[in-house]
């Protein structure tokens, strides 16, 4: 358990956890640094279950302590998700995107499994200053994981990985060596990384003011109560933002249609 005293330390904890879990993200980051790029994060995405003890509001406290302010909210009807994003007054700090699964909209069977996970969480865990990178506070069987993931990929991901970054997103506009997202995607593919092609390799359009692409999620071995199994972990994302013609400023929101597809990068193959 770590006490968190400043934003830099918080992001370092999040990045270290994410890289340990997803070595591919760390290698891609290094690949870009080796080409002379200075990487800035556009946003960091976190997931949780909708619940009074551990919903969006609870995770957001970790960031609000350091000056983050809630901005827009989003609804992903099909995936039964509610989300919000936070911004810091220093625009070079990444936006924080937190979503929660609206568990009351799941089938009775899934609701029961999720309630069983939540019941196992001690209050001491939720009070941790580093809760957003504290991992999984419950035991879960692979059989339950499969039941969850078959109905909701998101429920399965939360059940087996818990509280940790779902993805980091590189701010494409800051990269100097690539003019377009497809150019970056091609470079990554040629370097041996598989891109998520669900809904097209680039989600969103310049007209929607946000274009994003991502790698396929890394496969990791996870310990379940009934053995070790390989499951999808996290992906690495790239966001290109366009100026809003109304304000002349770069759009800071998240396009619903695009994000709905991006969530699919952790689907099981």
What residue ranges bind Ni ion (CB under 5 A)?
Answer: 45, 169, 237
The minimum distance between CB 263 and Ni ion, in angstroms, equals: 9
The minimum distance between CB 97 and Ni ion, in angstroms, equals: 6
The minimum distance between CB 94 and Ni ion, in angstroms, equals: 10
129 vs 260, which CB is nearer to Ni ion?
260
The minimum distance between CB 50 and Ni ion, in angstroms, equals: 19
**CB neighbours of 131 closer than 8 A, spacing ≥ 6?**
58, 59, 62, 125, 163
- C-alpha–C-alpha distance, residues 208 and 35, integer Å: 30
21 vs 224, which CB is nearer to Ni ion?
21
224 vs 254, which CB is nearer to Ni ion?
254
Structure tokens at 261: 């597809």
| DSSP sequence for 174-219 | G-SS-SSHHHHHHHHHHTT-PBP-TT-SSBS-GGGTEEEEEBPPPE
The minimum distance between CB 219 and Ni ion, in angstroms, equals: 20
45 vs 46, which CB is nearer to Ni ion?
45
- C-alpha–C-alpha distance, residues 108 and 15, integer Å: 36
Structure tokens at 36: 């002379």
For residues 169 and 212, the answer to whether their CB atoms sit within 8 Å is yes
Structure tokens at 145: 């994981």
137 vs 165, which CB is nearer to Ni ion?
165
For residues 135 and 204, the answer to whether their CB atoms sit within 8 Å is no
Shortest-Cβ-distance residue relative to Ni ion: 45
């Amino acid at each position: 358990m770590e006490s968190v005293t400043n934003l830099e330390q918080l992001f370092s904890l999040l990045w270290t956890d994410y890289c340990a879990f997803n070595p591919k993200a760390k290698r891609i980051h290094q690949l870009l640094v080796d080409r002379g790029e200075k990487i800035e994060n556009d946003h960091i995405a976190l997931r949780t279950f909708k619940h009074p003890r551990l919903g969006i509001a609870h995770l957001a406290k970790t960031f609000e302590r350091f000056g983050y302010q809630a901005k827009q909210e989003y609804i992903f009807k099909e995936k039964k998700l509610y989300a919000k994003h936070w911004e810091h007054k220093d625009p070079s700090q990444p936006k924080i995107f937190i979503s929660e699964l609206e568990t009351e909209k799941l089938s009775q069977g899934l609701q029961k499994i999720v309630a069983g996970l939540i019941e196992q969480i001690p209050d001491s865990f939720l009070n941790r200053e580093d809760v957003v990178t504290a991992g999984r506070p419950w035991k879960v069987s692979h059989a339950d994981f499969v039941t969850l993931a078959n109905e909701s990929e998101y429920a399965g991901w939360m059940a087996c990985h818990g509280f940790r970054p779902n993805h980091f997103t590189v701010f494409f506009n800051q990269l100097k060596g690539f003019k377009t997202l497809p150019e970056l995607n091609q470079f990554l593919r040629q370097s041996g990384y598989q891109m998520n092609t669900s809904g097209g390799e680039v989600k969103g359009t310049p007209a929607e003011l946000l274009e994003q692409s991502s790698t396929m999620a890394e496969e990791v071995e996870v310990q379940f109560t009934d053995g070790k199994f390989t499951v999808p972990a996290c992906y690495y994302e790239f966001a290109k933002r366009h100026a809003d013609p109304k304000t002349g400023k770069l759009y800071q929101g998240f396009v619903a249609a695009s994000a709905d597809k991006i969530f699919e990068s952790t689907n099981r193959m």
